[in-house]
Amino acid sequence: MNELKQASNLSVEVKPLFGLSLTELTAAMERLGQKPYRASQLQHALYRQRITSLDQATTLSHPLRDKLAAEGYVVGLPEIVQTARSIDGTERYLIRMADGETVETVWMPDGDGGERGDGSQAAEDEEAEDSETRTSSAPGFPYRRSTICVSSQVGCAVNCQFCLTAKLGIRRNLTAGEIAGQVAAVLNRHQVELGSTRGNYTPARINLVFMGMGEPFLNYANFMDAVRILTQMPIPESRMTVSTSGILPGIEQFATETVRPKLAVSLNASNDSVRESIMPITRKWNIATLLEALATIPLRTREWITFEYVLLGGINDSLEHAEELIDLVRGIRCKINLIVWNSGPNMPFHEPLQSGVSAFQKRIMAAGIPAYIRRPRGRDIFAACGQLKRTVESAPAPLIAIAPADTLAG
């Protein structure tokens, strides 16, 4: 955040560059009397090189960098200020924005199955990953692929009863730069290179899941702008999955997008009565309305709608619920992602028995519907699904100081 302090000392308005589109960068450069190609150079520095200060934008002349700084322009990446590390290698970060607000972001080495939105790994993707790993892995980077769980809002307004984030309420939406900036900050921390090897950076396959704090479709425009930024880094949308609780206007708009991540819908119940008791948003858009909206999405080749289903002991985990779920989704090109509830303090729920989880899965699969059980990651540091609650306010696991990236291998 040194560049923010420097801009503040100049008594000028601080203007973050990270998050701006090429059109916006071009307009900024034109205001400074620069040619349009300078905007392309700056865009490359921001999103491909992931610079953290203007001093690192070496394709721009020193006078131009000084002029940008004098005008109050800064890179403006959010800052990792605390981290907790799980016994399974998962890391949970408290990330601070320029105004001091914080969110949590999670790094999962080797993923958790959620990167595909369904817990599965298709054979052709396995083969592609193996090929990519053989040609691009570098010594010192221990993971074939990793997943970053990204937040879209400070807090959340949806109020799902089983989710710790709901206890925060909603503070504000994140900007496109703050959403994509979480990814850049985590990649820089782990010295991940997306593409050709550069310096000490190592290439890797990265998947993104927008399943952190907040409801992405209640911050739709900023979320989609962030997706477009992330594709420039470059992370293809085919490696992104967005989870929604069922925001109807967002789903309808999502169906019209030409560049979009895969979609996962947090269903969590087999009927409106149960769903309303754990997800109050059902009062506004019931399951039938939700399914009608999903039917408008033009699925691409080998694309499926994923229904996420958090199993809550004694509430939605019986075989009768499984039968109802089968009837609901029959005829939809879909997969079921089963998530055993991840506990939290003062939450009135409990995990289902493992035997019941297996029986639930087998019943769905017997009906010809793919069903997967997501592998929990980072439970011991409250980094698993539904456990994010801003470390600065709730610290269920010991916090450790940020370690240099070169100490993280292994």
CA distance 80 to 87: 20
In which region does residue 83 sit, left (phi positive, over 0), alpha (psi from -120 to 50) or beta (all else)?
beta
Residues 6+ apart with CB under 8 A from 312: 162, 268, 278, 341, 349, 350, 352
The count of domains in the chain is: 2
Look up the pTM and report it: 0.84
Collapsing DSSP to helix, strand or coil, 96 comes out as: strand
Claim to verify: residue 64 and residue 90 sit in the same structural domain: no
Run of H or E including 264? strand 262-266
What one-character DSSP code corresponds to residue 380? G
Residue 350 corresponds to which tokens in the numbers above? 């409990």
Claim to verify: residue 298 and residue 373 sit in the same structural domain: yes
Catalytic residue from among 149, 160, 334, 385: 385
13, 42, 74 - which closes a domain: 74
Residues 6+ apart with CB under 8 A from 370: 118, 120, 304, 335, 336
Claim to verify: residue 30 and residue 164 sit in the same structural domain: no
Claim to verify: residue 127 and residue 7 sit in the same structural domain: no
Which CATH number belongs to the domain containing residue 84 in this structure? 3.20.20.70
Claim to verify: residue 66 and residue 85 sit in the same structural domain: no
Residue 332 corresponds to which tokens in the numbers above? 């939809």
Claim to verify: residue 30 and residue 111 sit in the same structural domain: no
The parent domain of residue 336 ranges over 79-407
Claim to verify: residue 300 and residue 359 sit in the same structural domain: yes
47, 74, 101 - which closes a domain: 74
57, 74, 91 - which closes a domain: 74
Residue 271 corresponds to which tokens in the numbers above? 């009927």
Catalytic residue from among 104, 193, 215, 308: 104
Residue 287 corresponds to which tokens in the numbers above? 């399951």
- ∠ Cα 315 317 321 (to 5°): 95
Helices (H), ranges, 79-175 = 123-136
Which CATH number belongs to the domain containing residue 42 in this structure? 1.10.150.530
Tens of pLDDT, residue by residue, the chain (410 residues):
456 555 555 567 899 999 999 999 999 999 999 999 999 999 999 999 999 999 999 999 999 999 999 999 999 999 999 999 988 889 999 999 999 999 999 999 875 554 444 444 443 343 344 333 333 334 444 556 799 999 999 999 999 998 888 888 899 999 999 999 999 999 999 988 886 545 555 556 899 999 999 999 999 999 999 999 999 999 999 999 999 999 999 999 999 999 999 999 999 999 999 999 999 999 999 999 999 999 999 999 889 999 999 999 999 999 999 999 999 999 999 999 999 987 766 778 888 999 999 999 999 999 999 999 987 654 555 444 544 454 444 443 333 333 333 322 22
Reply yes or no on whether 385 is catalytic.
yes
Reply yes or no on whether 104 is catalytic.
yes
Helices (H), ranges, 281-353 = 287-294, 319-329
